[in-house]
Amino acid sequence: MPRAASNIMLALCVVLSLYSTRGGAVSAAGLPGSYPAILAFGDSILDSGNNILIGTLTKCNYPPYGRDFPGGISTGRFGNGKVFSDLIAERSGIKAILTAFLDPNLKDEDLVTGVCFASGGSGLDQQTANLQNVLSITAQFNLFKQYVGKLEGYVGTEKAQGIISQSLYLVSSGNNDICHQIFFDSEERLRCIHNTTGSMGIRFHTSKENRDMYGLGARKFAYLTTLPLGCLPSARITAGGILGNCFEMENQAAALFNSKLEAEVTDLNNNLPGADIFLLDIYSPLLEIIQNPDKYGRP
């Protein structure tokens, strides 16, 4: 099962900072510019219900998931209520929730304001998705191409292209890839992490799928950093010792990945004409909250 952050932490992230390599920090509660739609790709941080509609055991359509969602129902979101993609769509004034693209109840009008392609347990590496039989990045991109066709059929090609070029593309990936590396002895683990983490982002952000998305008109991206993975409950239970401390080796791997991702965002902005790419740092504020709980209202 993917190690999802709690919904309360995700809510806190929304009011923290969005870091842009073009212009410093801005409020995530009011993203720079205006967007007609949000399109979400990646893992359980953003998945709004796609996994319950595919052949995977990685699902969360049962209590206590969804207990804080409107109506108290489990919708396949990996949290108590709304997930990050919903919160960004809501705070941006677009709509209250971001519907999963595979939702059989998806309406044509939902296409205009955006949908979610993300799949809990997915990652940058195809093998990460294969381990849990979830939607890989390639599969998500193929769904995006279906979305483009449906959108054009509903609003016409010209209007659809306007929506595609002005929408915000929200991406969260890398968390599960790093987690899956934590199955080796210490020396091998460190070597594996350093060898793979530095190339994970490069492999995705320069991949055919990402370039093709840009080729279809996507211009505005917000890439989420990974979580402080060593502080997730499963990591603290299995590797945090008797006190259940954060597993620093896993946090170091996440921090290394994030540093590479930041450099790539800068490179992409410099090399993709017309692209406007931001880095949303959720690692730093979450780690700050975890390390200093009294400052943020320890329960």
CATH classification of the domain holding 187: 3.40.50
285 has a pLDDT exceeding 90:
no
Alpha helices in the chain (DSSP H): 7-14, 84-91, 108-113, 126-132, 137-155, 157-166, 175-179, 186-205, 208-215, 233-239, 248-271, 283-291
Instruction: With respect to residue 69, please indicate whether it lies within any of the assigned structural domains.
Output: yes
Catalytic annotation present for 44: yes
Burial class (CB in 10 A: 0-12, 13-18, 19+), 61: middle
Q: Give 3-state DSSP helix, strand, coil % of the chain, rounded to 5.
A: 50, 10, 40
Residue 210 is predicted with a pLDDT of 64
Instruction: With respect to residue 165, please indicate whether it lies within any of the assigned structural domains.
Output: yes
Q: Which of 77-86, 202-211, 290-299 has the lowest mean pLDDT?
A: 202-211
Instruction: With respect to residue 51, please indicate whether it lies within any of the assigned structural domains.
Output: yes
Instruction: With respect to residue 167, please indicate whether it lies within any of the assigned structural domains.
Output: yes
* Cα separations in angstroms, 108 against 96, 101, 115, 152: 17, 11, 11, 11
Residue 130 is predicted with a pLDDT of 92
Q: What is the mean pLDDT of residues 195-214?
A: 58
Confidence of residue 59 (pLDDT cuts 50, 70, 90): very high
Starting at the edge strand found earlier in the chain, the sheet holding 17-20 runs: 24-27, 17-20, 276-280, 220-224, 168-172, 38-42
Confidence of residue 13 (pLDDT cuts 50, 70, 90): very low
- Please choose, from the candidates 79, 75, 80, the residue with its C-alpha nearest in 3D space to the C-alpha of residue 52: 75
Distance from C-alpha of 145 to C-alpha of 212, rounded to nearest angstrom = 10
Residues 272, 214 contacting (CB under 8 angstroms): yes
- Please choose, from the candidates 133, 279, 274, the residue with its C-alpha nearest in 3D space to the C-alpha of residue 205: 279
Residues 283, 257 contacting (CB under 8 angstroms): no
193 has a pLDDT exceeding 90:
no
Domain membership of residue 223 as a residue range: 7-296
Instruction: With respect to residue 30, please indicate whether it lies within any of the assigned structural domains.
Output: yes
Instruction: With respect to residue 2, please indicate whether it lies within any of the assigned structural domains.
Output: no
Instruction: With respect to residue 138, please indicate whether it lies within any of the assigned structural domains.
Output: yes
Residue 190 is predicted with a pLDDT of 54
Give the other-Cβ count within 10 Å of 278's Cβ.
25
The contacts of residue 33 (CB under 8 Å, 6+ apart) are: 220, 276
Alpha helices in 240-295 (DSSP H): 248-271, 283-291
Q: Which of 24-38, 120-134, 142-156 has the lowest mean pLDDT?
A: 24-38
Strand partners, 39: 169
Q: Mean pLDDT across the chain, nearest whole number?
A: 82
Q: What is the mean pLDDT of residues 152-166?
A: 97
Instruction: With respect to residue 1, please indicate whether it lies within any of the assigned structural domains.
Output: no
Q: Which helix (H) or strand (E) holds 180?
A: none
Residue 31 CA to chain centroid, in angstroms? 16
Residue 47 is predicted with a pLDDT of 97
The pTM (predicted TM-score) of the whole model is 0.86
Of residues 44, 119, 136, 173, which has the active-site annotation?
A: 44
Number of domains in the chain: 1
Distance from C-alpha of 128 to C-alpha of 135, rounded to nearest angstrom = 10
